[in-house]
């Protein structure tokens, strides 16, 4: 898979997952803290910040998590931990810049949403890779059958 395609795919998945996280946050605040769900809205700056977050968080994925075929398990786990921490730093920095949180409770909510998004993106990525592997294997089997 080309790195540009991987970057675009990761940007879309991360941005979508962040949007879902924002919707979950709105529901949580509405259900548990009495916020009016009807008054929930997103400004163009918030939408831009979500897209920027997706794009920036895709870059470490390309740097740290591609070309891992020759890595031992411990080095891969180290890269994965660095990846998670690096993305968390990006999200927290952008959250501070774009004022996603103003108090400790907001910071905690952003942290919870971050880890939910991180796990979601990993699960979807694994599903995509398994699907691609099945398609490649089927194509190879079809070629072998023709011979």
Question: Taking the CB of residue 144, how many other CB atoms lie within 10 A of it?
Answer: 8
Residue pLDDT, tens place only, 108-145 = 988 988 898 888 888 887 888 888 888 888 888 878 77
Residue pLDDT, tens place only, 57-106 = 888 877 776 666 677 778 878 888 888 898 899 989 988 898 888 889 88
Half-sphere exposure of 29 (CA within 13 A, CB side): 17
- Are 117 and 13 in contact, with CB atoms under 8 Å apart? no
What is the sign, positive or negative, of the torsion defined by CA atoms of 112, 113, 119, 123?
positive
- Specify the DSSP class assigned to residue 68: -
């Amino acid at each position: 898979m080309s790195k540009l395609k991987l970057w675009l795919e990761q940007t879309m998945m991360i941005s979508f997952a962040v949007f879902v996280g924002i919707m979950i946050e709105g529901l949580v605040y509405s259900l548990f803290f009495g916020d009016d769900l009807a008054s929930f809205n997103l400004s163009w700056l918030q939408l831009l910040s979500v897209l920027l977050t997706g794009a920036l968080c895709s870059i470490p994925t390309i740097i740290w998590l591609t070309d891992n075929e020759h890595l031992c398990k411990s080095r891969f786990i180290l890269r994965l931990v660095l990846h998670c921490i690096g993305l968390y730093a990006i999200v927290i920095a952008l959250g501070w810049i774009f004022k996603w949180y103003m108090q400790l409770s907001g910071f905690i909510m952003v942290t919870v949403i971050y880890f939910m998004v991180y796990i979601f993106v990993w699960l979807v990525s694994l599903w995509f890779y398994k699907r691609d592997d099945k398609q490649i294997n089927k194509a190879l089997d079809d070629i072998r059958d023709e011979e």
